[in-house]
Chain A
Amino acid sequence: MFDKLKKVFSGSEEPKEQVKKETQAAPAAEAKASAKPRIGYIHLSGCTGDAMSLTENYDILDVVLTDLVDIVYGQTLVDKWIHGTYAEEMPEMDLCLIEGSVCLQDEHSMHEIQLAREKSKLICAFGSCAMTGCFTTYARGGQQGNPKHESFVPLSDLVKVDLALPGCPVAPEMIAKAVVALCEGDMDYLAPAMAIADVNEACGCDLLKYNMRMGKCSGCGACSVACPTRSINMIEGRPISNTDRCVKCGSCYMTCPRHWLPLSQIKKETGL
């Protein structure tokens, strides 16, 4: 099933040449000390929206943070960062959530992402900037702060990514459900997130290319619900995406029930 999933999600794209895609499984020794998964959170070129979404899960956050996982690395959630304080070295992690795209001209980011790959069993592209580049795709440099910072690429352009959660930002409930699935080892629920791990581009026109043009669009309107920038209008039962507003987050096509339909999960949740 996994292979089939992968084929569908990565569209017609050919696998890209990867510079450094070897996963180096982190030694499990340290993880054994506490049975809780060791999680890291790396913040690259993103707006902190994904971290804020994560913390919006007030009702489960305290339980998650105290009982379910150990946050072992990160500059936002814990003050442990190799370029900051309290972390000389990056620790081994079971899962490293990475928010934001990678600035090719920023040596810290380039170093941190490679290191994260070495130290993490799983890397999750957390949010659309990490997954597809999202609105950082439009970056062109020349800003006063650091004019040379001009190229921002999705994580999977540089390292192997194991799962991806799109969203601009990822929705809080999506995060909560993914965390619960991770803790419970519900790999069926996470299968779509794993299958899209190396999808590195998205656009509102995916709906046109992969859905409407394939005679699949029924005019349900779910894509327009998912669009965070309201770039999708429904005209005579078909989506039309305003490319000037589209930030290339991928939420619309991911949401389209005619792209993939989680029927087993729907049965489970509705009891029908």
Chain B
Amino acid sequence: MVLGTYKEAVSARATDKDILKVSQDGGIVSALLIHAIEEGIVEGAVVAGKKDGEKWRPEPGVAMTKEDILGAAGTRYTMSPNLTALKEAVRQNGLEKVGIVLTPCQTLALRKLQAYPFARFVADKVNLAIGIFCMENFPIAALDTFSQAKLETPKDDVDKMDIGKGKFWITSEGEEKGLGLKFTHGYEQAACNICSDYVAEFSDISTGSVGSPDGWSTILKRTDAGKTIFDSAVEAGLIETKPMDEVKPGLPLLEKLAQGKKDKAAKELEKREKLGLKVPLVL
């Protein structure tokens, strides 16, 4: 299956205005993590925080409260090695039950750490892994190129960055400016070119914007843990949902993009192998 194994797909949005004010899309990641903390399902959550004074530079950190989660909401389109803060959550904060938000590559890394635990007693403490969809990621200098050099807005003045409808968007002082993706193409890190997972196929629950209307998110419930927390957040009135087949553009677009990513990665891997370069060994 091109979207991996999942029990159910829905379109959804958080109901809490505090979340929607700061979230990237439907605020599902934040709503689920806040709910998990408040219900004691996790003691804390690992998120991509913001570095002091540099809002587009992510700094993986441990969120213990709703305020912490909200402070880390929204997408920073540059690498945030969230797993590093998992070690902090377990070793420094002493957490036994941890939630974490991960890109697809990070989700695979977490699952490998669980399958072959070379690092003692870290990865086994995760009981909620929320995966976010991801087509590619950029070095932070590329964000300067997009906003400052191409869209003539220093990135410190940018309030939101977003990718959608074929463009890289920035919002600054209420004004939106878009840059065609053909201009951002080529700035992504090389590792993304061999990444064949668009939708975090091995998370407990995956979410992203593609497939749902603006301000809403698409959700794939995968494991029992993922389904249980989502359903209980809906029941508690923290998340509202719409059936996936009633929203536009719906799953077909997500499937198309996921397949496209797989095809491109396979081609690039073949090319590298032909050159005799090392590629990841998949067992």
In the complex, which of the residues A5, A220, A263 contacts B81, with contact meaning CB atoms closer than 8 Å?
Answer: A220
| CB nearest to B5 among chain A residues | A272
Residue A4 CB within 8 A of the other chain? yes
Q: Which residues of chain B (79-120) have a CB below 8 Å from chain A?
A: 79-84, 86-87, 103, 105-106, 108-120
Residue B257 CB within 8 A of the other chain? no
Whole-angstrom CA separation of A262 from B111 in the bound complex? 9
Whole-angstrom CA separation of A264 from B105 in the bound complex? 16
Q: Is the CB of B119 within 8 A of A221?
A: no
**Residues of A with C-beta under 8 A to B280:** 216, 257-261
Name the distance in Å between A134's Cβ and chain B's nearest Cβ.
13
Q: Is the CB of A251 within 8 A of B283?
A: no
| CB nearest to A188 among chain B residues | B283
| CB nearest to B88 among chain A residues | A225
**Residues of A with C-beta under 8 A to B109:** 220-222, 257
Given A220-B106, A222-B112, A270-B223, decide whether A265 and B118 contact each other with a Cβ distance below 8 A: no
**Residues of B with C-beta under 8 A to A271:** 5, 223
Residue B68 CB within 8 A of the other chain? no
Residue B228 CB within 8 A of the other chain? no
Q: Is the CB of B117 within 8 A of A265?
A: no
Residue B140 CB within 8 A of the other chain? yes
Which of B124, B194, B280 has the most chain A CB atoms closer than 10 A to its own CB?
B280
Q: Is the CB of A191 within 8 A of B111?
A: no
Name the distance in Å between B110's Cβ and chain A's nearest Cβ.
8
Name the distance in Å between A257's Cβ and chain B's nearest Cβ.
5
Whole-angstrom CA separation of A260 from B189 in the bound complex? 19
Which of B60, B140, B202 has the most chain A CB atoms closer than 10 A to its own CB?
B202
Whole-angstrom CA separation of A237 from B78 in the bound complex? 8
Q: Is the CB of B106 within 8 A of A255?
A: no
Residue B252 CB within 8 A of the other chain? no
Whole-angstrom CA separation of A177 from B113 in the bound complex? 13
**Residues of A with C-beta under 8 A to B83:** 220-222, 224-225
Given A214-B277, A234-B84, decide whether A221 and B60 contact each other with a Cβ distance below 8 A: yes
Which of B60, B111, B121, B190 has the most chain A CB atoms closer than 10 A to its own CB?
B111
In the complex, which of the residues A4, A216, A226, A269 contacts B278, with contact meaning CB atoms closer than 8 Å?
Answer: A216
Residue B139 CB within 8 A of the other chain? yes
**Residues of B with C-beta under 8 A to A254:** 116, 118
Q: Is the CB of B79 within 8 A of A270?
A: no
Q: Is the CB of A263 within 8 A of B78?
A: no
Residue A236 CB within 8 A of the other chain? yes
A-B contacts, 14 listed (Cβ < 8 Å)? A216-B278, A218-B191, A219-B81, A219-B137, A220-B83, A220-B105, A234-B81, A236-B78, A237-B139, A261-B108, A264-B283, A266-B108, A266-B111, A272-B5
What 9 A-B pairs come out closest when comparing CB atoms? A237-B79, A221-B81, A219-B79, A215-B190, A171-B120, A218-B191, A221-B83, A222-B109, A220-B109
